[in-house]
């Protein structure tokens, strides 16, 4: 069973061509909620930046990644990343084209929402509300129908279900070597015993460090890295069998079983917008 965003209240160097953040002016618009649309192409990324406002980064099409000091959040189509006020982050496209809508909330409107990033599933109702809001003038009438539409969106944000699409950052240099290798090649099947000789630490030490720094075992962290890589490939239309083999699974069925265990549905149903 999924949690919703209101209940998710835990505490608070990428590649690509820098793309200057063109949305900084939203902080100066005197409205509690501002909605803007933006396209990214593969390899484009914003500079690392932060906003006075909270931000909901909604992926309409394509896959978007949001990097922060605490980790990586991957946003496949019809999902969004919640970014609290003041959180330093970078947004980049990990599919050919990524279309997103950005919702910026005044801190007062976000005061009872999570203090850390999380991925949420956007409901069909919310999708239509966001689409309508993106067509409104920046200085919409707060006391008229436009203001009421924005109030409904603010209310809906609190009930969005949280999806487990986060890859925690590791800080220990020995773990970083492993993490960078697995991010570059998720199919890498080396065990902690194999890694121990390469990074100069025992497998027991590495296991303890993974759990302490990420809250996940090494096997869980690697599986999560594979899941996030799979989402980007599947969103581009890569066949499930190809994705499974490219990520080191012995069969399509083994990959689908992992995917369903993590997200509750098969890849086909997930990208059709179905959730549990």
Q: What angle do CA 49, 54, 59 make, to 5 degrees?
A: 80
What is the model's pTM? 0.80
What pLDDT, in 10s, does the model give residues 85-140? 999 999 988 877 778 899 999 999 888 888 889 999 898 999 999 999 999 998 99
- Structure-token match 């996940």, residue found: 216
In the predicted model, is pLDDT for residue 20 greater than 50? no
Q: What is the pLDDT of residue 143?
A: 95
β-strand partners of 167: 72
Contact between 32 and 148 under an 8 Å Cβ cutoff? The reply is no
In the predicted model, is pLDDT for residue 257 greater than 80? yes
- Structure-token match 């399509």, residue found: 252
What are the chain's domains? 5-163 (2.60.120.10), 170-271 (1.10.10.60)
Residue 24 pLDDT class (50, 70, 90 cuts) = low
* Percent of the chain as helix, strand, coil, to the nearest 5: 40, 25, 35
Q: Rounded distance, CA 89 to CA 101, Å?
A: 16
Measuring CA to CA, which residue among 56, 134, 48, 95 is closest to residue 230? Answer: 95
Neighbours of 149 (CB within 10 A): 17
What pLDDT, in 10s, does the model give residues 192-249? 999 999 999 999 999 999 999 999 999 999 999 999 999 988 988 899 999 999 999 9
In the predicted model, is pLDDT for residue 18 greater than 50? no
């Amino acid at each position: 069973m999924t949690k919703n965003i209101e209940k998710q209240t835990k505490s608070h160097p990428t590649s690509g061509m820098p793309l200057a953040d063109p949305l900084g002016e939203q902080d100066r618009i005197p409205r509690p909620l501002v909605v803007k649309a933006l396209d990214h192409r593969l390899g484009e990324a914003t500079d690392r930046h932060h906003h006075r406002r909270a931000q909901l980064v909604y992926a309409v099409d394509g896959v978007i990644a949001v990097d922060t000091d605490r980790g990586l959040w991957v946003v496949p189509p019809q999902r969004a990343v919640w970014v609290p006020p003041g959180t330093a982050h970078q947004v980049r496209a990990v599919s050919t084209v990524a279309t997103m809508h950005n919702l910026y909330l005044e801190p007062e409107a976000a005061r009872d929402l999570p203090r850390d990033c999380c991925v949420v599933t956007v409901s069909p109702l919310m999708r239509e509300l966001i689409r309508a809001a993106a067509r409104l003038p920046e200085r919409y009438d707060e006391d008229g129908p436009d203001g009421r539409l924005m109030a409904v969106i603010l209310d809906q944000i609190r009930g969005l279900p949280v999806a487990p699409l986060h890859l925690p950052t590791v800080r220990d240099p020995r773990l970083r070597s492993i993490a960078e290798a697995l991010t570059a090649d998720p199919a890498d099947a080396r065990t902690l015993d194999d890694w121990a000789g390469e990074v100069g630490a025992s497998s027991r030490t590495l296991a303890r460090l993974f759990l302490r720094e990420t809250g996940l075992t090494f096997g869980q962290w690697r599986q999560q890295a594979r899941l996030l890589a799979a989402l980007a490939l599947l969103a581009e239309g890569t066949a499930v069998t190809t994705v499974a083999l490219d990520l080191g699974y012995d069969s399509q069925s083994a990959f689908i079983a992992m995917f369903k265990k993590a997200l509750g549905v098969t890849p086909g149903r997930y990208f059709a917008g179905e959730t549990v």
